[in-house]
Structure 1
Amino acid sequence: MGITVKDVLQLPVMKSAKVHVGQESVETNYVEWISVIETPVENFVRKNEFVLSTGVGCGDDPNCLETYVKDVMQSGASALAFATGRHIFKIPDRIQQLAFDENFIIIEIPWDVRFGDILQDVLIEISKEKEVEQRHAEGIRQELINCVLNGKGLQEIMTILYQHSRIPVAISDHNKIVRANYDFDQKMIDVLNGVTEGDYELIPAEDTPFRDHPLYHYIEEYKIGVQYCYQLTILSNHKKQGYLLFQPKGDEELTWPVLNILEHALTACALYFVKEDAIEMTEIRLRDHFLLDLAKNDINLDKQMLSKAQLLGYDLTLPYICLVGSIRFKKKVDNLIGSTDHKVQSSSMHSRNYYIQKEVTHAGEVLKRRTMATFEDGEVIVYLEADSHPYVETSNQFLDLIERRLNELLAGINISWGISFHKRGILSFHQSYDEAVTALNIGKQQHEEGNRTFFSDTRMNRLLMALSHEKEIESIVKDTLQPLIEYDQKRQTDLIQTFIVYNKYNSNVSQTARALTLHRQSLLHRLRNIEQLTGLSLLNADDLFLLELSVRLWMLKKVEE
């Protein structure tokens, strides 16, 4: 805490000094500095300063001397020592009474004692004490750092901090959720954690006795209900990691040594959060690589692979539904995320993936099912635990939960899904992924954003895809549709889309015209063009089947390309 006035009086150079007033305070008043100050005092004296004076300029003026003493007392000095024998021969009774009323220490020193000798000896003692404090603070700093390096947690940091400061302390993360505390007011913690309702706000830390400490500018005062505490922000790499909260009984507890300890604790907390982030990022990368490998490669799921999965928190022996999503945004959002600024693009993608991962986890918890998820190039891969319920019902329920919340968090997001449940989902991760991707690609030919395509519903499309690779069939499709394709490209029309809609509404001209927002005569003109260019009749069942088959094979081919 520093040396006291009593320690100063016990120095050999002060053996002839006499305490006139304040004898009971010499053991409790600390001395942080010593100086020679004459009138006027102004702002030259600081708190806990031992003041030496000859009384020059005030010896013949009692009022001036009284004003001088009042100014010294109001500055927060620890004691005032007068050298008597030249300007002041005796400390006036009114000065002694003034000091007595304020419980202030007044000391008399013989004129022949040199101020320079007093200054030198006191500064040596202050320096020794400072060295002791620094060694003590360095020991605490090392103890806190070792606590983190040895794998201890935030609660251990709080315990060390409390043991050396005796001030209730707590640590909250960047979401203001309290992670650890020691003797901190539980009611305040409950408000911060949202357990109980209550208002809290930050207010400037003003009129505090620690304004001259470097940490002062970073301290904020926290008001929670009618209670107060202080807060320091934990930063690392310019990123806000959390907050260090401390609740002294009074500001007088926040001495320089205590503030130094808080500063070291701040460093230890920042190091802990950096370490925690690094571990978390490593785990995320390991999980991502594992799941991508599991999905995209036909791996032998032996005991070693199952054990590795278990270490990452996965149980591969359960049945899983595979859901593959293609992420798209509306044009405005695409432009924002596709910015030329790589940092903005990377940040946006990271944020998007974070929210999707969070909602996947949340939906799994709501349905009480395990989930495994990863991302790659705008694609999200999710494995969802299955049970005896139909996989279509389970998948829809799961995706409904995700998309309802995502639409509130990420405006303009659309995810098209391909879904598969291969061979009851047991140890068939690669096969399920391939089937889900196939379903996704087939669903894309519908040109609808946010659709869900189940592999079990794609048998006709898969049959057509197989047929589309036959050379003779490929030639028939080309001969049938080439005139329409060339006409659409040359005239900027859409005859193929017109036929698709016409066929969807079972050749009903009125319904087709409404769907395409065309006049009936304009639609009939388009249909006649289709017949003329292809040489097929839309009234002939065989011709209609040939045209429909050709269009569907052509669209599947486009999706594959």
Structure 2
Amino acid sequence: MKVYELLTIPHLEGMQIIAGESGKENEVESVNMMDAPDIIQFLKQNEFLITTAYHLKDHPHLLSELVKAMSEQGCAGLGIKTKRFLDKIPDEVISLANELSLPIIELPLDLSLGQIVNLTFYTILDKRAAELKLVLETHKQFTNIIMQGKGVQSLLQDLSQMIKRPVQLIDQHFKPISQPIMNMDFSSSFDGISIPAASSFPITFSFLSTKQNCTLFPVNISEKKNGFLMIIGEIEKNDQLTLLTIEQAANVISFALMKENALKQHDRSIRNDFFLHFLNGTFASQEEIIGRAEEFSLHHNQMYICAVGKIDGNLLHPTYTQRHEKEDDVFDFIEGELSAYTQKIHFFKKGDSCILLFEVQDHDLSPIVYVETCLIQLQEKVSKYLGNTISFGVSTLCQNFLHTKDGYTEAADALSQGKLSKKTEYIQTYHTKDIMELLRQIPLEDLKNFYSFTLNGFSATKIEEEQSLLETLSVFLETHCQISETAKRLFVHRNTVVYRIEKCEEILGKSLKDSETTLKLRLALRIKSLLEN
């Protein structure tokens, strides 16, 4: 309740401000009655003090000391029965009250101090009850929005309409969680701003660039992460109704975000466990892997590039728990950033490293360049917001999901190679080592076409015969066309090898003495092995 509202209380007609009118907006939270000279030491902030001034009638100068002490304590105002024991308020007291903006109110003579106290208290309590009722209704309204599945964004829109101010939900790095407010550059606006952990909320400050006021209210995102409900514009400390409304919204948003985060953590854990089991080779068949991967939108026929990241150096924390928490902070930050990229990036954790699977489209001209660009941006943000550096190893192109297992090995190997060079904040791309890895860089459809064209004639033979002929052909080519060595490795008679090679030449319509033919056949047989894996 404001001081000026005291004048509107029924049955208190006749009250009027005779000094310090500029303080009529002061908040009144309690009422006290003065009946002793030592009342000064018992004064409280936002307290309205009433008195007959009996003990001041012979010492009116003490009234100045009282007014000064009340101002220093942040009292709301002073009510005096001026025509009881004091004929008039001294001029110097009037001037002092005006200077200090401490309202002095003339009280009606026909009411006792007790009646004035009771009527004022009842009015304050009625107003508080009305505020609490409105707060409960507001809390119920916000809760219903979440329970009906409309989401936090809908709640923020309702809150903005209620308080008639723009509202934004941001994380601990001052990055928007909800749909961003238009025409606001969060990165530059909050650049250099830090909030101490022991700060009391709400916090109000101004942006240097726009001179616009902003008020922050704390919001819990998870057990260890906090964010802020940002209100554009200053909110007066005395505007209790607006403050209570925002606090109720912040409470409901906290519960909604914590629930949402718990569900996300559960989904992440299941997805991460699947990928780790896949890397460890614990699944019984390729069909099971492909089927399970589809559940997590990891499509088998999709091409991928794998990146493995690790925080540089030794994390200087005294305990394993603190080191682990720091890794979690960095990896959670990276995972949160991935949603901003146009192409899908899958995120996993493995020990003290993170794994990123970049989906690659057929029309991408330079997928490696795109991946490196994304990783450089992540490195810059990790350094800016968390003060850490992180390095990545990058695999070659994986033609399908099953090949991402080899891609992980390549990326991890590239990461290790970079660390051997004592580098930090680097991106190391894996260098192909053999023909099989070179073949993996070729689109799968092109490999199938080359294989079918080169060994097309064998498809007309019986399956058993085809297998024996191709097996003989493979060993024959690997032994540099030596019949005796081929027979020895296959445990068959020499004449059997001769017959099968002649049969192969008949099917192919070409001589195996031609170097171009043997090169194509050896590549086709390598592709066959690749396609079967």
Q: TM-score, normalised by structure 1?
A: 0.56
Q: Secondary structure at the match of 2:132?
A: helix
My pick for the range that moved more, 215-224 or 434-443, is: 434-443
After TM superposition, the structure 1 = structure 2 runs for residues 333-344 of structure 1, keeping only pairs within 5 Å, are 333=314, 336=315, 341-344=319-322
Aligned to 2:29: 32
Aligned to 2:201: 218
After TM superposition, the structure 1 = structure 2 runs for residues 312-461 of structure 1, keeping only pairs within 5 Å, are 312-314=296-298, 316=299, 318-321=301-304, 323=306, 333=314, 336=315, 341-347=319-325, 349-350=327-328, 353=331, 370-372=344-346, 374-376=348-350, 380=355, 382=357, 384-385=359-360, 387=362, 397=369, 400-401=372-373, 413=391, 415=393, 417=395, 419=396, 421=398, 425=399, 429-430=401-402, 432-433=403-404, 451-453=430-432, 456-457=435-436
Letter paired with 1:387 = D
Query: Which of 258, 268, 271 is equivalent to 1:274?
Result: 258
Aligned to 2:272: 288
Aligned to 1:5: 6
**How many residue pairs get matched?**
418
Q: Is 1:243 matched up with 2:243? A: no
Q: Measured at CA, do residues 164 and 181 of structure 1 come closer, stay the same or move farther in structure 2, by a change above 3 Å? A: farther
The Cα shift of 1:346 comes to: 3.3
Question: Whole-Å Cα distance in 1 between the matches of residues 378 and 23 of structure 2?
Answer: 68
The Cα shift of 1:224 comes to: 0.7
My pick for the range that moved more, 274-283 or 375-384, is: 375-384
Aligned to 1:107: 106
After TM superposition, the structure 1 = structure 2 runs for residues 522-537 of structure 1, keeping only pairs within 5 Å, are none
Query: Which of 142, 150, 153 is equivalent to 1:152?
Result: 150
Letter paired with 1:261 = T
Question: Whole-Å Cα distance in 1 between the matches of residues 333 and 94 of structure 2?
Answer: 71
Aligned to 2:80: 81
Query: Which of 101, 111, 126 is equivalent to 1:128?
Result: 126
Q: Measured at CA, do residues 369 and 199 of structure 1 come closer, stay the same or move farther in structure 2, by a change above 3 Å? A: closer
- Check whether the contact 1:420–1:435 (CA below 8 A) recurs between aligned residues: no
- Check whether the contact 1:420–1:455 (CA below 8 A) recurs between aligned residues: no
- Check whether the contact 1:234–1:243 (CA below 8 A) recurs between aligned residues: yes
Q: Measured at CA, do residues 48 and 5 of structure 1 come closer, stay the same or move farther in structure 2, by a change above 3 Å? A: farther
Q: Secondary structure at the match of 2:204?
A: strand
Letter paired with 1:220 = I
Question: Whole-Å Cα distance in 2 between the matches of residues 416 and 130 of structure 1?
Answer: 62
Letter paired with 1:343 = T
Question: Whole-Å Cα distance in 2 between the matches of residues 18 and 445 of structure 1?
Answer: 83
Q: Secondary structure at the match of 1:221?
A: strand
- Check whether the contact 2:358–2:371 (CA below 8 A) recurs between aligned residues: no
Question: Whole-Å Cα distance in 2 between the matches of residues 415 and 82 of structure 1?
Answer: 83
Aligned to 2:53: 55
Question: Which stretches in structure 2 are left out of the alignment for 5+ residues?
Answer: 421-427, 440-473, 480-533
The Cα shift of 1:53 comes to: 0.9
Q: Measured at CA, do residues 268 and 458 of structure 1 come closer, stay the same or move farther in structure 2, by a change above 3 Å? A: closer
Question: Whole-Å Cα distance in 1 between the matches of residues 193 and 419 of structure 2?
Answer: 47
Question: Whole-Å Cα distance in 2 between the matches of residues 250 and 291 of structure 1?
Answer: 49
Q: Secondary structure at the match of 1:50?
A: strand
- Check whether the contact 1:73–1:104 (CA below 8 A) recurs between aligned residues: no
The two structures, once aligned, show a CA RMSD in angstroms of 5.5
Question: Whole-Å Cα distance in 2 between the matches of residues 412 and 100 of structure 1?
Answer: 62
Question: Whole-Å Cα distance in 2 between the matches of residues 73 and 411 of structure 1?
Answer: 54
Aligned to 1:230: 215
My pick for the range that moved more, 157-166 or 137-146, is: 157-166
Aligned to 1:536: none
- Check whether the contact 2:76–2:102 (CA below 8 A) recurs between aligned residues: no
Letter paired with 2:212 = Q
Q: Measured at CA, do residues 135 and 288 of structure 1 come closer, stay the same or move farther in structure 2, by a change above 3 Å? A: same
Q: Measured at CA, do residues 168 and 43 of structure 1 come closer, stay the same or move farther in structure 2, by a change above 3 Å? A: farther
- Check whether the contact 2:79–2:104 (CA below 8 A) recurs between aligned residues: yes
Aligned to 1:262: 246
Question: Which stretches in structure 1 are left out of the alignment for 5+ residues?
Answer: 205-214, 468-561
Aligned to 2:525: none
Q: Is 1:143 matched up with 2:141? A: yes
The Cα shift of 1:267 comes to: 1.8
Q: Secondary structure at the match of 1:218?
A: coil
- Check whether the contact 2:23–2:102 (CA below 8 A) recurs between aligned residues: no
The Cα shift of 1:152 comes to: 3.3
Q: Measured at CA, do residues 82 and 69 of structure 1 come closer, stay the same or move farther in structure 2, by a change above 3 Å? A: farther
Q: TM-score, normalised by structure 2?
A: 0.58
Per-residue CA deviation, residues 30-86 of structure 1 (Å, 9 max, x unaligned), is 64322113656646555654332121232134444465457657855345131754x
Letter paired with 2:32 = S
- Check whether the contact 2:207–2:213 (CA below 8 A) recurs between aligned residues: yes
Q: Secondary structure at the match of 2:362?
A: coil
The Cα shift of 1:439 comes to: 7.2
